[in-house]
Amino acid sequence: MKAEMEAVRRFAERIRHDHRPGQKILVVAHGNLIRTIMPVLGGRNPHESLLIEINNASLSILDVWDSGEAVLRLANCTKHLLPRQIT
């Protein structure tokens, strides 16, 4: 788990470094990565990821400001899925 957290931290830093403020970035990944990267991008403890439920094919939106603060605008939205598709 520690190696995974470090990989997520490096990925988050690369996102911050490679993209300009205000730029929209789409990350398509397994729920575990999404669950872990949200607190990391927001400058929080990656272990807080255990508190976030992410269903398969759900949508989440995280705004990260220049200051490093982040706002979770949408989490685990499954409105576009049929009930039988939500897992």
- Overall residue count recorded for the chain in this entry: 87
The DSSP result for 34-79, as a single string, is HHHHHHHHTTS-GGGGGG----TT-EEEEEE-TTS-EEEEEEEE-T
Q: Output the domain CATH number for residue 32.
A: 3.40.50.1240
Which structural domain range is residue 38 located in?
2-85
Number of structural domains found in the chain: 1
Pairing of strands 59-64, 70-77: antiparallel
The structure's pTM equals 0.75
Cβ–Cβ under 8 Å, residues 46 and 8: yes
Instruction: Render pLDDT for 18-71 as a digit per residue (tens, 0 to 9).
Output: 888 778 888 888 888 888 888 887 777 777 776 778 999 999 998 888 777 788
User: Please, which residues bridge with residue 61 across strands?
Assistant: 74
Give residue 84's pLDDT band: very low, low, confident or very high (50, 70, 90): very high
